[in-house]
Amino acid sequence: MTDEPITSSPKPVMKQWGRNLKGENSWTMFKVISEFVDGFETLNMIGPCVSIFGSARTKPGHPYYQKAVEIARLLTKAGYGIITGGGPGIMEAGNKGAAISGGRSVGLNINLPHEQSHNQFIDHDKNLNFRYFFVRKVMFVKYAQAFVILPGGFGTLDELFEVLTLVQTRKITPVPIILVGVQFWHGMREWIRTVMLEQEGNISPEDINLLPMTDDPEEVVRIINDFYERKISELEPNYEL
């Protein structure tokens, strides 16, 4: 197959926006800055935390809800604060586990079209509200020394792969990322191994090690404690902006 010569062609006509953009959109950056400032000033003072992700639809009494409560309870006993998205379901369970054990309980709420209300187990001075998802994500990642991922939907997957990408590309320091719920996560992890790694070569073999799985709350704490055993004095936010 030979390369075809490049020939001149009529200049394309650029598409236009369907409506005039408002000049006030330029001021959005000040709203963004204010959210960063509020988040940094609050979370800087809290200390090392673990972010817990999972579905907002998981009801109290569900095994995953109960597991999230127990994981958060054990983590606070180990000296970590708990960060969640501040809403119902697994988020509520994480905050509840922190609250019942007297630990720090942080909620990072987001304003959504169908209003998300914060759960009752967040410390009153650690309940933050965000307009922008990307600012909220920075807060989840910057102040967490580990990530515990319980079963969830698109939002949970988004948060999981965001963290995996940041660790893989070394944009943040390596941190434990633990999948809880072997039956739920096994198929995805197996697809990553057989298709992304072995079939397509899109990741490296060591990347699979970023995703340990367990059903045992005590194992979650053990993985995190083992990871930080020799560098507990080096705990600090994950990156500087």
The yes-or-no verdict on residue 151 having pLDDT over 80 is: yes
pLDDT of residue 17: 73
Structure tokens at 21: 């953009």
End-to-end CA distance of the chain: 48
CA distance 169 to 164: 8
Beta bridge partners, 84, equal: 107
Question: 123-140: per-residue pLDDT in tens?
Answer: 999 999 999 999 999 999
The yes-or-no verdict on residue 16 having pLDDT over 90 is: no
Structure tokens at 45: 């003072």
* Sequence letter at residue 6: I
Sequence-ordered list of residues with C-beta below 8 angstroms from that of 96, at least 6 positions apart, any chain? 69, 72, 119, 121
**pTM, rounded to two decimals:** 0.87
The yes-or-no verdict on residue 115 having pLDDT over 60 is: no
CB 35 within 8 A of CB 131: yes
Rounded CA Rg of the chain: 21
The yes-or-no verdict on residue 51 having pLDDT over 90 is: yes
Q: Which residue has the tokens 């367990």?
A: 214
Q: Which residue has the tokens 């000040």?
A: 30
Q: Give percent of the chain above pLDDT 90.
A: 71
Higher pLDDT, 185 or 111: 185
CA distance 99 to 103: 6
Position 173 confidence tier, pLDDT thresholds 50, 70, 90: confident
Structure tokens at 46: 């809290």
Q: Which domains does the chain have, with CATH numbers?
A: 30-183+212-226 (3.40.50.450)
What is the strand order of the sheet 105-110 is part of? 127-130, 105-110, 81-84, 49-53, 144-149, 177-180, 213-214
Secondary structure of residue 236 in the 3-state scheme = coil
pLDDT of residue 220: 98
CA distance 32 to 38: 10
